[in-house]
Amino acid sequence: MDGQIKPIGKYGRIRQTYLKEHNKSLYNSLSIQGKLMTHLADINEQANTRLDTMMKQMMETYGITEELKANDQMKWIREVNNIRAMCEEVIYKEMIYV
């Protein structure tokens, strides 16, 4: 690493809480080895990348376009929020709570 500390972000903090409460042995192991913060930052980065990719794909699949945003902004916001919630559920299940 280049000496810079990467932020652990939202998903890193959620992962940290999960490990503390449900997988103390992994949490302690990573902490003792000095790898905990790197692990959490990596999880956060991977989760954000996955979220961006999934959001784009699902918005395309469901027809959530800039045209919809221009014509019915409230509907666009509702749809985007629903898609984000679905994507985050996948991320939690596959990356955070494992």
Digit-coded pLDDT (tens) for 51-77 = 999 999 999 999 999 999 999 999 999
Average confidence score pLDDT of the chain: 95
Residue 82 reports pLDDT greater than 80: yes
Rounded distance, CA 26 to CA 54, Å?
Answer: 28
With a pLDDT cut of 70, the percent of the chain lying above it is: 97
* Closest alpha carbon to 80 in 94, 63, 97: 63
In a 3-state reduction of DSSP, which class is residue 5? coil
Q: Are 65 and 37 in contact (CB under 8 A)?
A: no
Q: State residue 5's pLDDT score.
A: 78
1: confidence class by pLDDT, cuts 50, 70, 90 = very low
Amino acid at 51: L
In the predicted model, what is the mean pLDDT of residues 28-48?
Answer: 97
Domain spans in the chain, listed from the N-terminal domain onward: 9-96
